[in-house]
């Protein structure tokens, strides 16, 4: 189903640093025993390769012997050749089985954690809090009540047409989102990113290669008649853009930003955040994606994080940055930072954006390489980060509301929306 599969974790790294990989598994709350199973399978694979190579070499030499033998001796030699041929076939089957077992176990290992705190969802480390939490001298409305009264959001007709967790952005609501995404696209271009509008349907090998068919595969929409997946983020299509290529990083990282609709099943979230547009099945997003040399990945990660912070500042939102614990990382991320904006009616911070360093995990699966200073092909590193998405409207509406039910448009969005203040519809 997947076509050709590439290495997931560098087996040389695994052999030389098994304790590091075991510790990563423990950090994630996953089974460290897989490391030893994979090491044993790798040893078995290498032995099977050696045995098959020896038999093939013996078969080749035996073939020359038959060619040089007298006619009367050949029938007996041919019998031995057939026996050797059967042994070679058996050895090759054993080699294929051993390689399949290595691949199976490799795909059970998530990326090796780099610097993330241990623990689960609640064990993040607070990096900083930015901005002042608003204090209202009136009872604040939530984003849906504001969105409906201002004529920005229509969830009733969204449910009528698409079912639960679908919605319409209407009038100024549509301009508010388009303006936010356009501003993000402009900021990305100024930072050297190439804007793309990528496919939202991708092949299985691309979805698998980016690490989205692991423990969170139940979040993904699959179209069996076409053997295609709907993306939950344009990260998937941007990661697949250079699949099976040797890219040129001699002038620095390649930086792309994808504008697309995204689709998530939200499996397992029944009863959570069902009101409004905080957790929905379809939304728009501007995603940053970077290919770089592994030694540059940590610096690129900080740059993506700063771009997200700058965009949140432009939206005039109070937020906090947290360092996500290993047990809450996706399969492909070695480290991830979330930026969470304050949501007044919930009295808490909620995630608006995140950025992940995936090191060589995705590029190794997708066979994306670059040439080092000696001309040798090396596996690239990949990173991603969200610069704007539909969910941001929740925080924008709630934090900028006024007593009369109006909402002040952030100054940076006014050229796109065409208004300074959104007022309730009569």
User: Is the distance from CB of 290 to CB of 304 less than 8 angstroms?
Assistant: yes
Give the Cα separation of 90 and 165 in Å (integer).
55
- Give the model confidence (pLDDT) of 239-283 as tens digits: 999 999 999 999 999 999 999 999 999 876 666 677 999 999 999
Which residues of the chain form CATH 3.30.930.10? 125-422
User: Is the distance from CB of 258 to CB of 198 less than 8 angstroms?
Assistant: yes
102-108 long-range contacts, CB within 8 A, separation 24+: 102/11, 102/38, 102/41, 102/42, 102/45, 103/5, 105/34, 105/37, 105/38, 105/41, 106/7, 106/8, 106/9, 106/11, 106/38, 107/5, 107/8, 107/214, 108/34
Annotated binding site: 233-235, 264-266, 280-283, 287, 351-354, 384, 386
Find, among 302, 357, 312, the residue nearest to 339 by Cα: 312
Active site residues: 264, 279, 351, 354, 391
Give the Cα separation of 57 and 2 in Å (integer).
32
DSSP code, position 327:
G
pTM of the predicted model, to two decimals?
0.89
Which residues of the chain form CATH 1.10.287.40? 11-108
**Model confidence at 64: pLDDT above 70:** no
Q: How would residue 4 be classed by pLDDT, with cut points 50, 70 and 90? A: very low
Q: How would residue 83 be classed by pLDDT, with cut points 50, 70 and 90? A: confident
Give the Cα separation of 148 and 154 in Å (integer).
6
Bridge partners of residue 109, in order along the sequence: none
Give the Cα separation of 416 and 180 in Å (integer).
8
Annotated binding site for L-serine: 233-235, 264, 287, 384, 386
55 in helix, strand or coil? helix
**Please, what's the largest Cα pairwise distance for the chain?**
108
- Give the model confidence (pLDDT) of 39-60 as tens digits: 999 999 999 999 988 888 877 7
CATH fold of 125-422, please? BirA Bifunctional Protein; domain 2 (3.30.930)
pLDDT for the residue 2: 34
Give the Cα separation of 79 and 160 in Å (integer).
75
Tell the burial category of 156 from Cβ atoms under 10 Å away from its Cβ (0-12, 13-18, 19+): exposed
DSSP code, position 133:
P
Give the Cα separation of 342 and 190 in Å (integer).
28
Question: What are the CA-CA distances from residue 133 to residues 128, 339, 342, 396, 397 (Å)?
Answer: 14, 15, 7, 13, 14
74 in helix, strand or coil? helix
pLDDT for the residue 349: 97
CATH fold of 11-108, please? Helix Hairpins (1.10.287)
């Amino acid at each position: 189903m997947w076509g050709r599969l590439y290495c997931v974790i560098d087996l040389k790294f695994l052999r030389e640093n098994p304790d590091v990989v075991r510790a990563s598994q423990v950090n994630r709350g996953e089974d460290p025993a897989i490391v030893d199973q994979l090491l044993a399978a790798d040893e078995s694979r290498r032995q099977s390769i050696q045995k098959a190579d020896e038999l093939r070499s013996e078969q080749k030499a035996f073939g020359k012997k038959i060619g040089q033998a007298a006619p009367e001796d050949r029938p007996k030699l041919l019998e031995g050749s057939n026996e050797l041929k059967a042994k070679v076939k058996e050895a090759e089957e054993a080699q294929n089985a051993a390689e399949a077992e290595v691949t199976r176990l490799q795909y059970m290992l998530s990326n090796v954690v780099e610097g993330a705190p241990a623990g689960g969802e609640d064990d993040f480390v607070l990096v900083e809090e930015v901005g002042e939490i608003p204090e209202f001298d009136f009872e604040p409305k939530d984003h849906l009540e504001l969105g409906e009264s201002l004529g920005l959001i229509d969830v009733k007709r969204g449910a009528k047409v698409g079912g639960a967790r679908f919605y319409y952005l209407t009038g100024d609501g549509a301009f508010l989102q388009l303006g936010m995404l356009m501003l993000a696209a402009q900021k990305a271009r100024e930072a050297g990113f190439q804007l793309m509008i990528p496919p939202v349907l991708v092949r299985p090998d691309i979805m698998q290669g980016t690490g989205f068919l692991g423990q969170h595969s139940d979040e993904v929409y699959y179209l069996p008649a076409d053997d295609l997946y709907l993306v939950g983020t344009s990260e998937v299509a941007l990661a697949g853009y250079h699949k099976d290529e040797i890219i040129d990083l001699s002038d620095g990282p390649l930086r792309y930003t994808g504008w697309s609709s995204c689709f998530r099943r939200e499996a397992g979230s029944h009863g959570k955040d069902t009101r409004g547009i905080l957790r929905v099945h379809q939304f728009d997003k501007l995603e940053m994606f970077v290919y770089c040399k592994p030694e540059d990945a940590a610096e690129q990660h900080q740059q993506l994080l700063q771009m997200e912070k700058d965009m949140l500042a432009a939206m005039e939102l109070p937020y906090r940055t947290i360092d996500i614990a290993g047990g809450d990382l996706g399969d492909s991320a070695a480290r991830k930072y979330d930026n969470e904006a304050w949501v007044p009616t919930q009295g808490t911070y909620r995630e608006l954006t995140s950025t992940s360093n995936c090191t060589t995990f995705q590029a190794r699966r997708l066979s994306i390489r670059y040439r080092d200073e000696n001309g040798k092909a090396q596996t690239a590193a990949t990173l991603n980060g969200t610069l704007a998405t539909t969910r941001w409207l929740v925080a924008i509406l709630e934090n900028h509301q006024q007593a009369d039910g109006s909402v002040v448009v952030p100054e940076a969005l006014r050229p796109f929306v065409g208004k300074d203040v959104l007022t309730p519809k009569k």
